[in-house]
Structure 1
């Protein structure tokens, strides 16, 4: 199964819509805890794309057997790097650290104009 959503530039309200659609896609996939982590990581990547670019994003989620792959494509070529936050940063800068720590695999690849930040989780089947 594949799900895709275009997210408009600076449309932070779309983050909750993306989470809801992903939740529906994963209704019968994996353990509830794994699906919740996938939701969290997806919202982190979408939020990063919307905050750090002025071009919107395309979110694609693909479920194949026991594997979930989520890709967030934006249209800015600058590649992200995990940030090591300091204690007084509040909640800033932890998105990629969460992805790195909780996903089974993740990465960044250039994609024409822009890039795709992706993660994969293994957790069940649909």
Structure 2
């Protein structure tokens, strides 16, 4: 799956989540697919809210592993999620990367010549 989403177009978040759901329709690991929908929503929202430049979202399944990448076009890296530091219950920001860190099997951030890529991977069984 590959999608380009426009800057500050938060309507794109459910569209990307729906496209991922369709892509993973035959993935045997339903719990992982639901986690993937949550995490892709967080990363796309972060890219749209914090960069206003849009993003390119890709998702691939290979060897029973899902990899999702969200590339934006702003070089500034997000602050890393701090382990053991809770986000206040009434906070409206700050949970996205913490969720990725705690739920993904692997994740990271790569700088690009223009922008960055935030990615995560989940293990599962491909149909």
Which TM-score band applies after superposition, normalised by the shorter structure?
Answer: over 0.9
CA contact (8 A) 2:28 2:126 kept: yes
Tell me the CA shift for residue 88 of structure 1: 5.1
The alignment covers a number of residue pairs equal to: 124
Displacement, 1:86?
Answer: 4.0
List gaps (5 residues or longer) in structure 1.
none
Contact 1:44 / 1:95 at 8 angstroms: preserved in 2? yes
TM (norm. structure 1) is 0.92
* 1:95 alignment counterpart: 96
Q: State yes or no: 1:15 paired with 2:16.
A: no
Give, in angstroms, the shift of residue 91 of structure 1.
3.5
Deviation of 1:89 (Å): 4.0
Query: Which ranges of 4 or more aligned residues in structure 1 deviate by more than 6 Å?
Result: none
Q: 1:23 to 1:78 in 2, by over 3 A?
A: same
- Cα distance in 2 for residues equivalent to 1:86 and 1:34: 24
* Aligned mates of 2:54, 2:20 — CA distance in 1: 18
SS at match of 1:87: coil
Q: 1:41 and 1:4 mapped to 2: Cα distance? A: 16
CA RMSD of aligned residues (A): 1.3
- 2-side partners of 1:38 and 1:30: how far apart? 13
In structure 1, the residue matched to 2:30 is: 32
Q: How does 1:55-94 map to 2 (within 5 A)?
A: 55-80=53-78, 81-82=80-81, 84=85, 86-87=87-88, 89-94=90-95
**Range moving further from structure 2, 99-108 or 31-40:** 31-40
